[in-house]
């Protein structure tokens, strides 16, 4: 129980900050979602299942935003945790079931915010990808970044290390105006 107090306090604090941030306005030049929140990666933070999710799925890497893969992908991933990208990420059955529900509720889907909707469109009808970094939506957003800033950059190493460039990733902030690539500084396109 004690372990939950800090995450919960943080959670409410962050949710409050986000609400203010969103209210203050959201500028995005390629917005085509009719003014809907662009922050679908952040929406999951307000879900009561988030604390358990970050605790269990955020130890080895960032607790990836559920909005950036469709439900079928999460379902497939949760079915194979004992061999998870070469690591063992097994969970007991109860915990796994709770996380599976959380992921399904917050997965990419039409009407779930800009990033979620575009991810859903980009993966519709395909074999469910097991990596966020393998979706056409992700690739489309990142294809201009040269390899010297990623695989040849000891502070980044791969695209799976979202938080290396998106410093607000833990808060669900992937805004392209706030990207800073280690060793290269702010990203201006």
Residues engaged in binding another protein (CB under 8 A) = 2-3, 59-62, 85-90, 157-158, 160-161, 163-164
Nearer to another protein, 62 or 181 (CB): 62
- Contacts of range 84-91, beta carbons closer than 8 Å, 24 or more positions apart: 87/60, 89/57, 89/60, 91/56
By CB under 6 A, is residue 165 in contact with ligand HEC? Answer: yes
By CB under 6 A, is residue 144 in contact with ligand HEC? Answer: yes
Q: Considering only residues 78 through 137, tell me which ones interact with ligand HEC, judged by CB under 6 A.
A: 81, 84-85, 87, 89, 99, 115, 131-133
Q: Binder to ligand HEC among 156, 171, 172, 173 (CB under 6 A)?
A: 156
114: DSSP letter: H
Please report how close the Cβ of residue 60 comes to another protein at its closest, in angstroms.
Answer: 5
DSSP 139-151: HHHHTTS-GGGTT
Name the residue among 132, 81, 71 with its Cα closest to residue 104: 71
Q: Considering only residues 39 through 68, tell me which ones interact with ligand HEC, judged by CB under 6 A.
A: 56-57, 59-61, 64-65, 68
For helices 93-106 and 50-57, angle between their N-to-C axes, nearest 10 degrees:
120
């Amino acid at each position: 129980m004690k372990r939950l107090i800090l995450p919960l306090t943080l959670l409410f604090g962050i949710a409050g900050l986000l609400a203010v941030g969103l209210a203050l306005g959201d500028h995005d030049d390629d917005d085509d979602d009719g003014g809907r929140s662009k922050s679908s990666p952040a929406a999951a933070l307000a879900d009561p299942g988030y604390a358990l999710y970050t605790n269990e799925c955020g130890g080895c890497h960032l607790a990836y935003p559920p909005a950036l893969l469709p439900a079928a992908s999460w379902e497939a991933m949760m079915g194979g945790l004992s061999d998870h990208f070469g690591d063992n990420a097994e969970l007991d059955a109860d915990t796994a079931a709770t996380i599976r529900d959380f992921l399904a509720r917050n997965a990419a889907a039409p009407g779930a915010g800009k990033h979620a909707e575009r991810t859903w469109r980009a993966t519709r009808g395909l074999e469910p990808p097991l990596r966020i970094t393998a979706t056409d939506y992700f690739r489309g957003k990142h294809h201009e970044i040269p390899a010297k800033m990623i695989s040849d950059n000891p502070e980044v190493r791969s695209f799976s290390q979202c938080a290396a460039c998106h410093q607000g990733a833990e808060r669900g902030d992937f805004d392209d105006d706030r990207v800073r690539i280690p060793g290269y500084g702010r990203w201006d396109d």
